[in-house]
Amino acid sequence: MTIQWFPGHMAKARRQVTEKLKLVDIVIELVDARIPLSSRNPMIEEIIGQKPRLVLLNKADMADPVKTDQWITYFEEQGIKALAVNAQGGKGLHSIVQSAKDILKEKFDRMKSRGMRPRAIRAMIVGIPNVGKSTLINRLAKKNIAKTGNTPGVTKAQQWIKVGKELELLDTPGILWPKFEDERVGYKLALTGAIKDTILNLQDIALFGLKFLETHYPDRLKERYSLDEIPEEVLAKFDAVGKKRGCLMAGGEVNYDKTSEVIIRDIRNVQLGPMTFDMIEELESDDI
Ligand code: GDP
């Protein structure tokens, strides 16, 4: 589902996350491993403040594994622990509890030394729409949903999901908005399915995808569309792909909208192999 973010929505989303923050020890921030920066909320640091955080690069199965490792190092250089996971298939999820324990070790040791009874770590998941929050919660929940709600007088009862004995997760995630003002970010969000392609111009998204492929994965582009060479001129690129894929109008001319749809769908469905669209190198040029 695509949510149109208006200032009122953003303020409400922010308020909801801020309220829940008080209940938890740690925030689990989900990002899309294909776009670890473009899929982050622009105000995440400000919203989360000093709260300890674990970043999960989800959908790692669709991302370039070499780049995913680079992004994990990038986050770690910022002092943020990051893990690559696949919420759908379950890969990497077993490390979440241990990582949360490591991050909170000092706090929990302190609580223990003050004579407090040991308790499970409390966590909440936050992230932009479609990043995999519900998939992750369902996957972690299995049959362990602990109903703590329905207490008379408690209007906003929260439900906690037990993940083993040592972690409790709020059952509703915090939904945050992506950053829209930069069109490159918009294209990347569209190509990964985070936002509907109707928000942006279809052909612009496809062109961005084509140029990206040409620059970073030219061999895959050639192979997918059986091209000997990638034409230089923009229309010629569309013509080449459109002809190969039979996206033609009645008169035999290439239908650019249809060709754009094919390109976007192929990229989203990982038909050109796992790929990462945010590049560490781009950070230096401030150009993500
Ligand atoms: P939410 O809006 O953040 O709750 O996102 P959802 O949990 O609804 O997931 C959005 C889409 O991404 C769904 O189609 C999921 O099946 C898919 N998805 C979630 N996690 C993964 C993953 O790790 N790998 C892949 N390939 N797909 C995933």
> pLDDT by residue (tens digit) across 100-112?
999 999 999 999 9
Q: How far is the CA of 44 from the centre of ligand 1 (A)?
A: 21
Alpha-carbon span 66 to 273, nearest angstrom: 13
Q: What is the mean pLDDT of the chain?
A: 91
Q: How many CB atoms lie within 10 A of CB 115?
A: 6
> In a mutational test of the pocket of ligand 1, which residue from 30, 40, 88, 276 has the highest number of ligand atoms less than 8 Å from its CB?
88
Taking phi over 0 as left and psi of -120 to 50 as alpha, with beta for the rest, 244 belongs to alpha
Measured from the CB, is residue 39 less than 6 Å from ligand 1?
A: no
Measured from the CB, is residue 172 less than 6 Å from ligand 1?
A: no
Q: How far is the CA of 83 from the centre of ligand 1 (A)?
A: 16
Alpha-carbon span 202 to 134, nearest angstrom: 28
ipTM, 2 dp: 0.99
Q: Please enumerate, by residue number, every residue annotated as part of a binding site for GTP.
A: 58-61, 130-135, 174
Confidence class for position 200, pLDDT limits 50, 70, 90:
confident
Measured from the CB, is residue 135 less than 6 Å from ligand 1?
A: yes
Q: How many CB atoms lie within 10 A of CB 89?
A: 13
> In a mutational test of the pocket of ligand 1, which residue from 135, 169, 275 has the highest number of ligand atoms less than 8 Å from its CB?
135
Query: Mind listing the pLDDT tens digit for each residue in 102-156?
Result: 999 999 999 999 999 989 999 999 999 999 999 999 999 875 555 554 444 444 5
Q: How far is the CA of 235 from the centre of ligand 1 (A)?
A: 34
Beta-bridge mates of residue 28 = 54, 125
Say what the pLDDT of residue 7 is. Answer: 87
Say what the pLDDT of residue 16 is. Answer: 93
Q: Please enumerate, by residue number, every residue annotated as part of a binding site.
A: 58-61, 130-135, 174
92, 84 in Cβ contact below 8 A?
Answer: yes
Say what the pLDDT of residue 158 is. Answer: 75
Contact partners, residue 248, CB within 8 Å, separation at least 6: 242, 254, 255
Mean pLDDT for 4-18 is: 90
Alpha-carbon span 243 to 260, nearest angstrom: 12
Alpha-carbon span 180 to 235, nearest angstrom: 27
Alpha-carbon span 121 to 128, nearest angstrom: 23
Coil/strand/helix, residue 55: strand
Measured from the CB, is residue 59 less than 6 Å from ligand 1?
A: yes
Q: How far is the CA of 6 from the centre of ligand 1 (A)?
A: 24
Say what the pLDDT of residue 41 is. Answer: 94
Domains (range + CATH), the chain: 7-170 (3.40.50.300), 201-279 (1.10.1580.10)
Say what the pLDDT of residue 182 is. Answer: 84
Q: How far is the CA of 123 from the centre of ligand 1 (A)?
A: 20
Measured from the CB, is residue 245 less than 6 Å from ligand 1?
A: no
